[in-house]
Structure 1
Amino acid sequence: MKKKGQMLVLILLAFSLLVAYGYTHNRIVSIAEEPPTQLEALPRVGSQENLRSLLKTYYERESLLYGNMMKTADGGSRGMESVTVELEAQAAVANDAAGDYSTTNVQVQGVDEADLVKTDGKYIYQINGASLVIVDAQQPEKMKVSSRVSFKEEQFRPLEMYLDQDYLILIGHTPMPIGIPKPMIQDSVDSTVQKIRPMPVYYGGSTVYIKVYDIKDRSGVKLEREIKMEGNYLSSRKIKDSLYLVANHPIHYYIMENKESEVPTPRYQDTLLGEEIKTAAFEDIRYFPNAVEPNYITLLGLNLKTFKEKANIDTYLGQGENIYASSENLYIAVNRYEFEQSLDKPQNQVEGTAGFRKILPGYSHNTEVYCFGLKDGEFRYTAKGKVPGRILNQFSMDEYEEHFRIATTTGEMWRSDEFTSKNNVYVLDGQMKTVGSLEGIAPGERIYSMRFMGNKGYMVTFRETDPFFVLDLKEPKEPKMLGYLKIPGYSDYLHPYDENHIIGFGKEVIEVKGAALQAGMKVAVFDVRDVSQPIEKFKTVIGDRGTESSLLQNHKALLFSKEKNLMAFPLTVIENKRVQQDPWSSGEFTFQGAYVYQLDMEKGLSLRDRITHLTPEDYMKAGQHWYESDLNVQRILYIGDILYTLSNQKIMAHDLKTLKLKGSLTL
């Protein structure tokens, strides 16, 4: 038993090392098979014994997989590449709401996304560390805190929120499982005395925590309901009056060692139902054949219009990595490896970059997508699809006119043979069957950003230059490339300005002895009126190497309004006066705050001002570097003619026309 346990530990250690090298992330090992198309076709786990049997098959294949993958001709290893409703441009390009205030920058119009900050045009709601702060912003010169709810005593960490008229939904997590789980006993070596001693191991882990507040009285908010779900928060969406949330709940592999232990299933607790802890029953948990993962996907749906009714909670044996939602469907995507030959047969030897020789199992890297219909806070599983390659993020997926589009990267950038990286777009029908494809785009590069807009798609790949591709998706069965542009740098995020112009946010790149060296942050406007020859119409580069913006990782950090000719985002600027002489040299910190731009298609990009929450003394103390200070601007929003910048320590209000300071509030 002990040797068996040690072998499992070695297997998992190998898995961790491979993940660290970017080889795989949350993969599913399986053999290709036709997926079920309806919920009734999905088998139920049914019992502990069946779950153990399913996981046993998974771990056996894991053992074979990593035993083979650890072998190389050189005895070493090599790191691999790590890393809708129609989206009409004029409707989705801005944060403009029905009222004269900004809303969260979302991917799909009508599908809200949770964020750190929200406003209803009168009040500003902010997650501030371990607190929720509500600020009365009706008089910018006299801003005041109406309410502050602290969670420091609860071990609760708020992450994101939604507003729904008179209610606020807070989503966060706690490191503690629900209740007190039963311990297992595991052998552990005490390094100080070199002897074996028993150590308790718990199945529990992080718990997703939902708090619903009545905010009709902003000075006295009331906690109406709490829902706790074991697992790790993946993402969520709010569509009209309904909240949809997805969580992952890993299954500890030690259950395979201790056959006497009780196999855990996700638990949840809802104050609406009292203090009782509910447990998902095995007969209610379904799984996807030949795509078993030691993890549960938990889906929670809550109709906020009748939120005092029971929440809808469904559990599946599987894994989720990225989600995309239209107004009617939710798509959960996960990476998946499939073997093209048996693992007990000799593996393929292939020639890699610079003569590097690897022995690799015959496999294909795919993305599997589960589709769930959404209605009034309920999920309905409808279909499962699969395409070659791996996706980048939620913007790699899109729904348009009853078709699902997805952009992937296959292969690896470090390879120079037929297995080098290539980029692709696939179109799937309502049954998640592939009906069209455009493959082999930009060999040797990978996707850095993707944006679907109606019957067109815009893709940015990168290795040393930034190819910007325009794709024709009008005919689902025949996607085509219309044109492309090659320029230095790359874009991490693409945002539509209108139907003819796209804004790219990313990094400039300078070439140094054949290498592409990252430089400052780049903002570019692409003109796509001539789809066969797109051009970079405007461009600005901010700072030098080391300059960073949270916008490059999170689209919600962007404030954009075409109506107000306004664009703003948070930025930490590093400048290097020696960059021309020595591109490899380090620069110095010079600014943290918000960059506020004016943008139109006649004058281009014009920097109006820079707004910082740091004092002159803070800059003098900063030296060469800066850190995640509570004075760092995180979000920018507007209410009427007032622009607000928010950090954890301060809110500043500026006149939108003159950018003169109107008021400031220390939090």
Structure 2
Amino acid sequence: MKRKAAGLLATVIVLCAMPLLFPAGTLHEPTVTAAAEKDGLPLVGSYGQLKKLLKATEYNYAIAESALSMPTAAPMSKAVADNAAAGASRDFSTTNTQVQGVDEADIVKTDGTYLYQSTNREVRIVKAYPATEMHVVSRIGYENGLFTPLEMFVDDRRLIVIGQANESVEMAPLPASKRGIPYYQNNQLVKAFVYDIADKAHPRLIRQLDVEGQYLSSRKIGGSLYLTANRYIDTYRILQENNELPGPAYRDSASGDKFLTVPYDDIRYFPENVQPSYLMVAGVNLDDPKQKMSLSAYLGAGENIYASPTSLYVAVTEQKVLPTKMKQGESIAPSFTPPPMQTDTTIYRFGMNKGEVTYAAKGSVPGRILNQFSMDEYDGYFRLATTSGNIWRTDENTSQNNVYVLDSKLDLHGKLEGVAPTERIYSVRFMGKRAYMVTFRNVDPLFVLDLSKPAAPRILGALKIPGYSDYLHPYDENHIIGFGKEAESDKDRAYYQGMKIALFDVSDVSKPKEKFKTVIGDRGTDSELLYNHKALLFSKEKELLAFPVTVFELTEEQKQSPDIRDYGHFTFQGAYVYHLDLAKGFTLTDKITHLSQEDLNKAGEGWYENSKNIKRILTIDRTLYTVSDDILKTQQLDGSKAGRTLTLTK
């Protein structure tokens, strides 16, 4: 998420769309009796039981909102070249993923000869190598506007396009005894189109998967595809409708062209986190055209996804309002300070095997995670880093940071709590028996953590420097690259400045060092890389580092009267390309833009999303490619600026 607040410590209170539960015994809630359990989770079981669960959830929401308005007492993965599977000798960059062997979908992919690009209207297949023969081979269009491509997977045989659609769907008919009015709904559908790309000029649709809901995330392991989605439940209609409404819908073209619904006696629910939505978890073995899609529905919602080669983990945040303690003789007066919240993260693990997805275990730890990099599986253990409390509180509920180690059953095995009180986690990277964690409030502490003894994680060393890192990327076993923002402090408040890149030396784990750093632009400078790791191109072998960036710089007048709160003015959008080695650090070798002088003249002081904004950078052999929605541009890595420019629009 991009930061737009003037100060990092501005007090902002956000009430998320999560159930706000209360300590046992403090409220009289509607009674819900759990249905029989299946695979360790209770079943919804029936439409009547669903109504009871949603009624209880609706009650909790109402009470929680009331409580919050009451007066309270004042207070290693890689993006490096691999050999092409088709036997070609050239190498090419791949999507920067979290876990080796677990592919992640992206908007641009390459197989070493062709480049595949997803825009919001079409998917393009481009002959990219050699650059002298670069041209658009084919386009897969979705002109009706009902489907928006989001991202893709590519292998040597298939192109898999995943996107979102709005589509009016008639559900499978219910038994006459349960049927009410015909049930049509303008459904939000996650669609996956699978194309045979043996003939690049004529990609052939061979399978279509539809799962009702909003796209959450996906992974591809070999020939198996796994999808997750959140499907909103119309609680009001369910509670008011006398006749039974169908469950969530899905369709697999391998089984026919009709939409089916998940029966209520097959829907499970997360007892700690009942929400008015379904988490949909789907898997399919694309290598077996006859194998049907595996689909499970859970009353609840997923927030962050982590996947190892054999397990899928879904993280869900749970919040409880803690009782407010009153001092003797203290009167209740209106206050803008909300009551303290207890936040926990519940983890659900699913086994994955050739497209089959099965529920395996659940566990819970205090605090909330930041993103998928807060989670990791290693040597039979699941590790995660959380922040509990809030940085704006000054009482016992102030923030602190923690690392937990869970066993294969997701039971607690080891923990490290209370790290960097009053700060929160900005980035985490687990690397084998070590972990690196960045917290921030006024300065950036980089913590080096020892996880070699899972029962007793500990801090090995820490480094405090200005700024923070939003994303950490391994360079080698003794060096890690941080991407984030520089920061300057004014009294007790820190303000982020330009984009900062740092190379940390952790050879001496007790004394980590910032070996090199460089800062791009001034306040307002931003990059997709800071919230999406797939925007990074890195090759240690090529000593190459590149990413898209939008640069804001202070004017000469602003520099005469400097104010750390001032934003710069737009000066550049494109790719920054660096040479990176351990002797000289970061050497900026090129700045590549797709914007014309006319585009720059129109920009003024600010900038916005533009079809010429560079989004991805990749390599095939010694050719560097920069990709925007409108343009594909090449140049050689040997320093020659000569290259080709291909217009991608019709």
The two structures share one fold, judged by TM-score above 0.5? yes
> 2:335 & 2:321 partners in 1: Cα distance?
20
1:214 to 183, 187, 196: 196
Q: Any gaps of 5 or more consecutive residues in structure 1?
A: 1-19, 79-86, 183-199, 342-346
Deviations 1:284-322 (A, max 9, x none): 111233432221111110111113431111111121000
Q: CA deviation at 1:268?
A: 1.2
Aligned to 2:107: 116
**1:5-154 map, 5 Å:** 21-27=13-19, 29=21, 39-73=38-72, 87=76, 92-99=77-84, 100-154=91-145
> 2:559 & 2:155 partners in 1: Cα distance?
49
Aligned to 2:489: 511
> 1:74 & 1:476 partners in 2: Cα distance?
41
Is 2:297 the partner of 1:320? no
Report SS of the residue matched to 2:82: coil
Q: How many residue pairs get matched? A: 609
Cα distance change on mapping 1:605 and 1:334 into 2, 3 Å: same
Aligned to 2:205: 223
> 2:241 & 2:119 partners in 1: Cα distance?
45
Aligned to 2:450: 472
8 Å Cα contact 2:19/2:57 also seen in 1: no
> 1:580 & 1:447 partners in 2: Cα distance?
35
Cα distance change on mapping 1:272 and 1:487 into 2, 3 Å: same
> 1:31 & 1:203 partners in 2: Cα distance?
37
Cα distance change on mapping 1:180 and 1:263 into 2, 3 Å: closer
8 Å Cα contact 1:26/1:334 also seen in 2: no
Q: CA deviation at 1:620?
A: 2.3
Aligned to 2:398: 420
429-438 or 274-283: which moved more?
274-283
Cα distance change on mapping 1:570 and 1:276 into 2, 3 Å: same
Is 2:642 the partner of 1:657? no
RMSD: 2.7
Is 2:514 the partner of 1:536? yes
Q: CA deviation at 1:153?
A: 1.3
Aligned to 2:31: none
Amino acid at match of 1:299: V
Amino acid at match of 2:592: I
Kindly report structure 1 stretches of 4+ aligned residues shifted beyond 6 Å: none
Report SS of the residue matched to 1:176: strand
Amino acid at match of 1:606: T
Q: CA deviation at 1:252?
A: 1.3
> 1:290 & 1:436 partners in 2: Cα distance?
22
8 Å Cα contact 1:181/1:202 also seen in 2: no
Deviations 1:547-587 (A, max 9, x none): 11000010000000000110000011111032462323332
Amino acid at match of 2:264: F
Aligned to 1:194: none
Is 2:568 the partner of 1:618? no
Q: CA deviation at 1:180?
A: 7.5
1:295 to 260, 277, 283: 277
Is 2:462 the partner of 1:484? yes
> 1:60 & 1:173 partners in 2: Cα distance?
32
Q: Percent identity?
A: 50
Aligned to 1:187: none
Aligned to 2:622: 641
Q: CA deviation at 1:73?
A: 3.7
**1:235-634 map, 5 Å:** 235-338=217-320, 347-349=324-326, 364-577=342-555, 578-579=558-559, 581-583=561-563, 584-634=565-615
Cα distance change on mapping 1:595 and 1:262 into 2, 3 Å: same
Amino acid at match of 1:591: F
Deviations 1:227-280 (A, max 9, x none): 111101100111111111111111112135414143341101222222211011
Amino acid at match of 1:220: H
> 2:542 & 2:346 partners in 1: Cα distance?
41
Cα distance change on mapping 1:71 and 1:213 into 2, 3 Å: same
126-135 or 55-64: which moved more?
55-64
> 1:65 & 1:506 partners in 2: Cα distance?
36
Cα distance change on mapping 1:666 and 1:324 into 2, 3 Å: same
Q: Any gaps of 5 or more consecutive residues in structure 2?
A: 1-11, 25-33, 85-90, 174-181
> 2:496 & 2:634 partners in 1: Cα distance?
34
8 Å Cα contact 1:333/1:370 also seen in 2: yes
386-395 or 276-285: which moved more?
276-285
Cα distance change on mapping 1:122 and 1:566 into 2, 3 Å: same
> 1:134 & 1:297 partners in 2: Cα distance?
33
Deviations 1:348-380 (A, max 9, x none): 3499xxx99577667521000000111001111
Amino acid at match of 2:137: S
